[in-house]
A and B are shown apart, each in its own frame.
Chain A
Amino acid sequence: MAYAYLFKYIIIGDTGVGKSCLLLQFTDKRFQPVHDLTIGVEFGARMITIDGKQIKLQIWDTAGQEAFRSITRSYYRGAAGALLVYDITRRETFNHLTTWLEDARQHSNSNMVIMLIGNKSDLESRREVKKEEGEAFAREHGLVFMETSAKTAANVEEAFINTAKEIYEKIQEGVFDINNEANGIKIGPQHSAVGGASGAGGAGAGGAAGGGCC
Chain B
Amino acid sequence: MFRSRSWFGGAWGRPKNPHSLERLKYLHNILCKNTTVSENNRGTLVESLRCIAEILIWGDQNDSSVFDFFLEKNMLSYFLKIMRQKCGGSSYVCVQLLQTLNILFENIRNETSLYYLLSNNHVNSIIVHKFDFSDEEVMAYYISFLKTLSLKLNNHTIHFFYNEHTKDFPLYTEAIKFFNHSESMVRIAVRTLTLNVYRVQDASMLRFIRDRTAAPYFSNLVWFIGKHILELDTCVRNDADHQSQQKLDDLVAEHLDHLHYINDILCLNIPDLNDVLTEHLLHKLLIPLYIYSLTSDSTRRPTPSPYNRDHIQSIEAITRNLEAILKGKNAEVSPTRITFPRQRIESDDESKPSVSCVVALFLLSQVFLIITHGPIVHALAWIILQSDISVFEDGATSILEMYISNAKSSVKLEFSKPQLSLEKALENTSGYERDYTTPEYSGSKTFGLEDTDQSSCDLDPELVSTSLPSTSQMSESSSVAHDSTEDLVTQIHFMKSGASLKENMPDSPLPDSGIESSSSKTTSELNNITDEEKQKLLGVATTSSSDRVITLENILDRENREIEKRPFLKTILDSLDCNENDYKALFALCLLFALINNKGVNTELLDTLLCPELDSNKEISVARESSISQNETTSTQDHTSTPTHSRKSMQSFNALLISKLMTIANLSCKPASKVRLVTLELSVTLVRIAMQGASGVAGARHIAFAEGLRGRAAALARNFYKCDDIFLDMFEDEYCEMSKRPLNVEWLCMDAAILLPPTRTPMSGIAFAKRLPSGEMERARRAIRSFFLIRDLYMKLTGKQETQLPLTNPAPFVQVGDVLDLNDSDLISCDIIQKDDTWHHRFLAVDNIQIILVEPDKQRLGWGVAKLVGSLQDLEIQGDKEDPRCLHLTIHKPRVGASGALPRTILLRAKFKFDDHIRSMAAKQRLTKGRTKSRQKKMQQIGRLLEVSGISAPTLVPRHRPLFSRPGLTAIRRSTGGDADDAERRLRRPSAHMLKDGVVVYRERTTSRESSVSRSSSTHGSRDGSPRARSEEIPLEDIRRNASFATCMPSTSVAQAQPSTSTQLPKPTVSAETSFISGEPRPKRKGIVETI
Given the complex of chains A and B, what is the CA–CA distance between A11 and B104 in angstroms?
20
Contacts of B192 on A, CB cut-off 8 Å? Answer: 64-65, 68, 71
Cβ distance B1091 to chain A, nearest Cβ, rounded Å = 46
Q: Which of B68-104 contact A (CB under 8 A)?
A: 88-92, 95-96, 99, 102-103
- The answer to whether B195 and A34 touch across the interface, beta carbons within 8 angstroms, is no
- The answer to whether A39 and B54 touch across the interface, beta carbons within 8 angstroms, is yes
- Among the 9-residue stretches A86-94, A133-141, A201-209, the one with 4 or more Cβ atoms under 8 Å from chain B is A201-209
Tell yes or no: A28 within 8 A of B by CB: yes
Residue-wise, chain A 37-50 has the 8 Å CB interface mask toward B (1 for contact) of 10111111100000
Contacts of A71 on B, CB cut-off 8 Å? Answer: 188, 191-192, 195, 261, 264
Answer whether A32 and B106 are a contact pair too, CB < 8 Å, given A63-B151, A64-B151, A203-B89.
no
Answer whether A42 and B144 are a contact pair too, CB < 8 Å, given A32-B3, A35-B58, A201-B91.
yes
Given the complex of chains A and B, what is the CA–CA distance between A209 and B42 in angstroms?
13
Tell yes or no: A95 within 8 A of B by CB: no
Contacts of B106 on A, CB cut-off 8 Å? Answer: 20, 40-42
Cβ distance A154 to chain B, nearest Cβ, rounded Å = 13
- Among the 9-residue stretches A72-80, A97-105, A115-123, A167-175, the one with 4 or more Cβ atoms under 8 Å from chain B is A72-80
Contacts of B96 on A, CB cut-off 8 Å? Answer: 208-209
Contacts of B7 on A, CB cut-off 8 Å? Answer: 30, 214
Tell yes or no: A125 within 8 A of B by CB: no
- The answer to whether B102 and A58 touch across the interface, beta carbons within 8 angstroms, is no
Q: How large is the interface on B (under 10, 10 to 19, 20 to 34, 35 or more residues)?
A: 35 or more
Answer whether A58 and B54 are a contact pair too, CB < 8 Å, given A68-B264, A206-B92.
no
Tell yes or no: A164 within 8 A of B by CB: no
Answer whether A78 and B3 are a contact pair too, CB < 8 Å, given A43-B102, A45-B140.
no
Given the complex of chains A and B, what is the CA–CA distance between A202 and B3 in angstroms?
32
Q: How large is the interface on A (under 10, 10 to 19, 20 to 34, 35 or more residues)?
A: 35 or more
Contacts of A70 on B, CB cut-off 8 Å? Answer: 191, 257, 260-261, 263-264
Cβ distance A32 to chain B, nearest Cβ, rounded Å = 7
- B19 touches which one: A8, A33, A35, A41 (CB < 8 A)? A35
Contacts of A69 on B, CB cut-off 8 Å? Answer: 260, 263-264
Cβ distance B222 to chain A, nearest Cβ, rounded Å = 15
- The answer to whether B264 and A39 touch across the interface, beta carbons within 8 angstroms, is no
Given the complex of chains A and B, what is the CA–CA distance between A205 and B91 in angstroms?
9
Answer whether A201 and B253 are a contact pair too, CB < 8 Å, given A8-B185, A214-B5.
no
- The answer to whether A202 and B89 touch across the interface, beta carbons within 8 angstroms, is yes
Residue-wise, chain A 175-214 has the 8 Å CB interface mask toward B (1 for contact) of 0010011100000000000000011011101101100011
Cβ distance B451 to chain A, nearest Cβ, rounded Å = 21
Cβ distance B67 to chain A, nearest Cβ, rounded Å = 15
Interface of B is mostly: helix
- The answer to whether A77 and B103 touch across the interface, beta carbons within 8 angstroms, is no
- The answer to whether A34 and B54 touch across the interface, beta carbons within 8 angstroms, is yes
Contacts of A44 on B, CB cut-off 8 Å? Answer: 99
Given the complex of chains A and B, what is the CA–CA distance between A209 and B150 in angstroms?
22
Query: How many residue pairs between the two chains, A and B, have CB atoms under 8 Å in the bound complex?
Result: 151
Given the complex of chains A and B, what is the CA–CA distance between A34 and B20 in angstroms?
13
Tell yes or no: B4 within 8 A of A by CB: yes
Tell yes or no: A145 within 8 A of B by CB: no
Given the complex of chains A and B, what is the CA–CA distance between A39 and B136 in angstroms?
25
Interface of A is mostly: loop
Tell yes or no: B979 within 8 A of A by CB: no
Task: From B107, B187, B188, name the one whose CB has the most chain A CB atoms within 10 angstroms.
Answer: B188
Contacts of A60 on B, CB cut-off 8 Å? Answer: 144, 185
Contacts of A32 on B, CB cut-off 8 Å? Answer: 3-5
Task: From B102, B184, B247, name the one whose CB has the most chain A CB atoms within 10 angstroms.
Answer: B184
- The answer to whether B5 and A45 touch across the interface, beta carbons within 8 angstroms, is no
Residue-wise, chain A 1-12 has the 8 Å CB interface mask toward B (1 for contact) of 100000010000
Tell yes or no: A24 within 8 A of B by CB: yes
Answer whether A43 and B151 are a contact pair too, CB < 8 Å, given A64-B196, A71-B188, A73-B257.
no
- B43 touches which one: A1, A31, A213 (CB < 8 A)? A213
Instruction: Report the nearest B residue to A206, measured CB to CB.
Output: B92
- The answer to whether B92 and A205 touch across the interface, beta carbons within 8 angstroms, is yes
Answer whether A33 and B260 are a contact pair too, CB < 8 Å, given A45-B137, A71-B188, A202-B89.
no
Tell yes or no: B433 within 8 A of A by CB: no
- The answer to whether A202 and B92 touch across the interface, beta carbons within 8 angstroms, is yes
Instruction: Report the nearest B residue to A56, measured CB to CB.
Output: B137
Contacts of A28 on B, CB cut-off 8 Å? Answer: 50, 99
Contacts of B3 on A, CB cut-off 8 Å? Answer: 32-33
Tell yes or no: B499 within 8 A of A by CB: no
Given the complex of chains A and B, what is the CA–CA distance between A30 and B144 in angstroms?
21
Answer whether A74 and B184 are a contact pair too, CB < 8 Å, given A43-B102, A206-B92, A209-B99.
yes
Residues of chain B whose beta carbon lies under 8 Å from any beta carbon of chain A:
1, 3-7, 18-19, 42-43, 47, 50, 53-54, 57-58, 61, 88-92, 95-96, 99, 102-103, 106-107, 132, 134-138, 140-141, 144, 147-148, 150-151, 184-185, 187-188, 191-192, 195-196, 199, 246-247, 250, 253, 256-257, 260-261, 263-264
Q: List 7 additional A-B contacts (Cβ < 8 Å) besides A67-B195, A71-B195.
A: A64-B192, A71-B191, A73-B260, A77-B184, A202-B89, A203-B92, A209-B141
A–B Cβ pairs within 8 angstroms, 10 of them:
A34-B54, A40-B106, A41-B103, A64-B196, A70-B257, A71-B188, A78-B184, A180-B246, A202-B95, A214-B7
Residues of chain A whose beta carbon lies under 8 Å from any beta carbon of chain B:
1, 8, 20, 24, 28, 30-35, 37, 39-45, 58, 60, 63-65, 67-71, 73-75, 77-78, 177, 180-182, 198-199, 201-203, 205-206, 208-209, 213-214
